[in-house]
Amino acid sequence: MRMMVAGQEVEAEPKARCGEVLSQALSKKKFKQALACRCNGALLDLSKPVPDGCSELEPVYADEADGLSVLRHSAAHIMAEAVKKLFPKAQVTIGPAIEDGFYYDFDFERPFTPEDLAAIEAEMRNIVAGNHAFTCRVLPKSEAEKIFKDMGEDYKREIMDDLGEDSFSLYSQDGFTDLCRGPHIPSTGHLKAFKLTHVSGAYWRGDERNRMLQRIYGTAFATPKDLKKHLARLEEAKKRDHRKLGPQLDLFSFSEEAGPGMVLWHPKGALVRTILEDFEKKEHLRRGYQIVQGPQLLPLQMWEKSGHYDNYRECMYFTEIDESAYGIKPMNCLAHMLIYKSRIRSYRDLPIRYFELGTVHRHEKSGVLHGLLRVRQFTQDDAHIICRPDQLQEEIIGVVDFVRDIMNLFGFEYEIEISTRPEKYIGSLEDWDRATNALMDALKKLGSPFDINEGDGAFYGPKIDIKLKDALGRRWQCATIQCDFTLPERFGLVYVGRDGERHRPVMLHRVVLGAIERFFGVLVEHFAGAFPTWLAPVQAKILTVTDAHNAFAGQALESLRNKGVRVEADLRNEKLGYKVREARLEKIPYLLVVGDKEVEAAGVNVRVRGEERGLKSLEEAAAMILADCQEPFKRGGMSYSFSYSCPV
């Protein structure tokens, strides 16, 4: 049969293997680099026969996402083999490729140590050096079961039972066999650049009632150079970890006594948060939102009516008041709808945009809690826009505009995704289509490119997710816009139309920063703790050379504070070099040194993030700092006018 292979026409023998066919079209060098192949969108092992009806076969290399994922997943098999060789008692479970590498979960009697990781990695290098082929067999369930039973691998048998299929594919390399759909690299020698990175605990199937497994993470890249770049980025990420910087910079902490997932905001962190929240309130008012506030608890019936009880119960907390059941709000929508319903609304009143810095509680499993990024109590910059169907597109555009200005303010790049109907959903298919189209049309009208995320919408409607990219190129979910026809229906929201009849409005749920806690954590890592001047809890620190300069430093402190600068003074009897180092560790943007010359000139010597700016009068120094605060706002046509004195 004739087929196109990597852009060339090739005559292939019937039942030929993909690898043989590829080798006819590729140079020797290119063929050696091919990890798998693609036919009609499906990825295949090179050892598989060319599927019937395949007219086009493409090689897959490690420089594309699919190839990298085949490489990393194969590395997980090689790691499992190494672990079994070194620790025969360990049981294997699952080992997928993930965004930056791969992992494999093992049931083992104790956590693996760094020494274990080094030994496993060395064993993997032996397996790679042996260049063993990956081979695939498809066996009936009974035979596959017997193989894993003889190996003592109970988890594999459980997985087979769950899949409920009649036959299973097994992959082997170098005597090690795993249950897997594939595909894999042709042989272990194709794994050229890998590294095991860390170990963590993980519950079997992510359920804390199950046994705790040992998860070993690793990463693999096409070339040693790519691997080195990635490892350097990991090192940098470790330095910026907000869980380390938060307590170090005295911004926030967690405590066993407060319980998991509960944040303690220290004065400096709470101040940054206050500035962020004040900015948000002001900016929402400027954009036609109204600030509202609802209760933390609502009767259980309300959550039943909204569908949260049926679809979201496991993430909610419940309590009782006067023998009535109440739910603690996991979302802010319901109270906003009650405010809307408190009076008759006309078509002329719409759109109505209710904004709340809404504190919510969600029961996250303890295993997924992660610093500020995943907590159990958090505050969203939440708004609900209730509008006429004909206003929907314009409202969505308004929100996307808002998000764009905020991303510019912080200097984030971002990507947009539309998430469509999930398996568990409420409402009619017609409404889902209408809502999904409204979101897509708005983005098309704005000319914003977007990806589709099938099945990832909220249970009550499709959504636009906006993911920002931080300084290390990592993506973080922040803003979402959800389109909802169902809740207005369930809660009987109406407006009186031009025709005097009652009509159903549409509701948009949206957040811009998302959870303030999470956004704060992202900011700490993005700026490596060095907040831009407008957000820095302490914007400037006055450092005296000797005690003789303390009197003037006191005057300078008061003067700058009166001008609206958040400033502290270090009047301790310490060497200037020591004071400077300490202030820089605190990531304070402006250091103002006071010595003989400065006292005489009634000024300060200014250093901005390590850069000398020379002797300035107090007026000049204050003006510099305040202008620096304005800078990021100019990008979004906004302005800065906050004044908080610093905590001392």
Binding footprint of Zn ion on the chain (CB under 5 A): 180, 331, 333, 509
Nearer to Zn ion, 385 or 560 (CB): 385
Provide the 8-state DSSP code for 275: H
What backbone phi and psi angles, to 5 degrees, belong to 311? -105, -10
Give min distance, CB of 332 to Zn ion, in A.
Answer: 6
Nearer to Zn ion, 196 or 591 (CB): 196
Query: In whole angstroms, how large is the CA radius of gyration of the chain?
Result: 30
* Cα separations in angstroms, 456 against 37, 164, 594: 29, 25, 58
SS3 418: strand
User: Smallest Cα–Cα separation from 534: which of 255, 167, 185, 278?
Assistant: 278
Task: Give the contacts of 602 (CB within 8 A, at least 6 positions apart).
Answer: 552, 617, 618
Nearer to Zn ion, 57 or 331 (CB): 331
Q: What is the dihedral of CA 266, 268, 269, 274, to 10 degrees?
A: 110
Is 348 labeled as catalytic in the residue annotation?
no
Nearer to Zn ion, 180 or 553 (CB): 180
Give min distance, CB of 67 to Zn ion, in A.
Answer: 15
Give min distance, CB of 178 to Zn ion, in A.
Answer: 6
Nearer to Zn ion, 44 or 560 (CB): 44
Tokens describing residue 551: 């009197």
Phi-psi region of 411 (alpha: psi -120 to 50; beta: other; left: phi over 0): left
Is 180 labeled as catalytic in the residue annotation?
no
Task: For strands 135-140 and 101-107, give the pairing.
Answer: unpaired
Nearer to Zn ion, 505 or 589 (CB): 505
User: Smallest Cα–Cα separation from 277: which of 297, 287, 291?
Assistant: 291
Give min distance, CB of 70 to Zn ion, in A.
Answer: 9
Give min distance, CB of 146 to Zn ion, in A.
Answer: 20
Nearer to Zn ion, 329 or 561 (CB): 329
Give min distance, CB of 331 to Zn ion, in A.
Answer: 5
Give min distance, CB of 510 to Zn ion, in A.
Answer: 8
Q: What is the C-alpha to C-alpha distance for residues 198 and 241, in angstroms, rounded to an integer? A: 15
Is residue 160 within 8 A of residue 141, CB to CB? The reply is yes
Is residue 399 within 8 A of residue 443, CB to CB? The reply is no
Tokens describing residue 349: 């009143």
Task: Give the contacts of 295 (CB within 8 A, at least 6 positions apart).
Answer: 329, 335
Give min distance, CB of 353 to Zn ion, in A.
Answer: 13
Is 555 labeled as catalytic in the residue annotation?
no
Q: What is the C-alpha to C-alpha distance for residues 550 and 537, in angstroms, rounded to an integer? A: 23
Tell me which of 509, 561, 579, 616 is the catalytic residue: 509
Q: HEC profile for 524-582?
A: HHHCCCCCCCCCCCCCEEEEECCHHHHHHHHHHHHHHHHCCCCEEEECCCCCHHHHHHH
Tell me which of 37, 39, 180, 333 is the catalytic residue: 333
Q: What is the C-alpha to C-alpha distance for residues 70 and 93, in angstroms, rounded to an integer? A: 18
Tell me which of 230, 242, 421, 463 is the catalytic residue: 463
Nearer to Zn ion, 176 or 432 (CB): 176
Tell me which of 72, 132, 362, 374 is the catalytic residue: 362
Is 470 labeled as catalytic in the residue annotation?
no
Is 581 labeled as catalytic in the residue annotation?
no
Is 526 labeled as catalytic in the residue annotation?
no
Is 547 labeled as catalytic in the residue annotation?
no
**Which residues are tagged catalytic?**
333, 362, 380, 382, 384, 463, 509
